[in-house]
Amino acid sequence: MQYTITNEDKINISFSPVNEIEEILQNVKTIISTPKWSVPLDRSFGIDMSFLDKPATLVESLVKKEIVIAIANYEPRCRLSEVHTNINENSKVVIKVVVEL
């Protein structure tokens, strides 16, 4: 089954998810919403955001690469199907991923 997750969705952390699917989706959401180097005990967790001031086409490819690596490392229970990036009217990079469980 496929699920779509974006970094614009609010994260509601559940320390006791109802099932494994909810846990995996929560983990993916956290991965794509967390800047790399912001987690004190795991500085490599998340997405490298240091290239956000670069041209949009470069940002898109670098963000996609970061997401593929981060999800493979931190949530191997899902398969990444699609990664889409867009820059919204507030110049924020919007990430949308589709994962299969």
Domain of residue 85: give its range.
Answer: 2-100
- What's residue 99's pLDDT? 96
Instruction: Calculate the alpha carbon distances from 79 to 7, 23, 31, 33, 96 in Å.
Output: 18, 15, 14, 18, 14
Helix (H) or strand (E) holding 32: helix 20-33
Question: By the 8 A CB rule, do 37 and 43 touch?
Answer: yes
Tokens, residue 93: 């990079």
| Whole-structure pTM value | 0.86
Q: Which residue has the higher pLDDT, 94 or 92?
A: 94
Total domains in the chain come to: 1
* pLDDT for position 22: 92
H or E segment to which residue 14 belongs? none
Residue 14: CATH number of its domain: 3.10.450.40
Q: Looking at residues 62-90, what average pLDDT do you find?
A: 91
Q: Name the percent of the chain lying above pLDDT 90.
A: 59
pLDDT on residue 10: 75
DSSP string, 36-81: TT-STT-TT-SB--TTTTS-HHHHHHHHHHHHHHHHHHH-TTSEEE
Average pLDDT, the chain: 89
